[in-house]
Amino acid sequence: MKIIFHGHSCIELRLDDGTILLVDPWILGNPQSDIDLNFKCDAILVTHGHAHHSGDMITLSQRNQAPIIGMAELVHYAETNGAVPGHPMDLGGQWTFPFGTIKTTHAQHSSSLDIDGLPIYMGEACGFLVMADHQTIYVAGDTSNFGDMALFGSAYHINTAILPIGDNYTMGPNAAASAAKRVKADFVIPVHFNTYPDIRQDPAAFTKLLPDGVVQVLAPGEEFQIPNQH
Q: Is the domain 2-216 a CATH 3.40.1010.10 member?
A: no
- For residue 229, name the pLDDT band (cuts at 50, 70, 90): low
Assess whether pLDDT exceeds 80 at residue 230.
no
- For residue 215, name the pLDDT band (cuts at 50, 70, 90): very high
CA quadruple 129, 34, 48, 77: dihedral sign: negative
Encode pLDDT of 21-66 as tens digits.
Answer: 999 999 999 999 999 999 999 999 999 999 999 999 999 999 999 9
Encode pLDDT of 150-185 as tens digits.
Answer: 999 999 999 999 999 999 999 999 999 999 999 999
Q: Rounded CA gap, 25 and 139, in Å?
A: 14
Give me the mean pLDDT over the 66-70 stretch: 98
Give SS3 for 173: helix
H/E segment holding residue 210: none
The reported pTM is: 0.97
Bridge partners of residue 126, in order along the sequence: 106
Encode pLDDT of 70-119 as tens digits.
Answer: 999 999 999 999 999 999 999 999 999 999 999 999 999 999 999 999 99
CB atoms within 10 A of CB 23: 27
Phi and psi of 33, rounded to 5°? -65, 140
Percent of the chain residues topping a pLDDT of 90: 98
The predicted structure's pLDDT at residue 69: 98
Give 169: exposed, middle or buried? Use CB within 10 Å, 0-12, 13-18, 19+.
middle
Residue 175 neighbours by CB under 8 Å, 6+ apart: 144, 145
Bridge partners of residue 224, in order along the sequence: 3
- For residue 228, name the pLDDT band (cuts at 50, 70, 90): confident
Contact between 97 and 68 under an 8 Å Cβ cutoff? The reply is: no
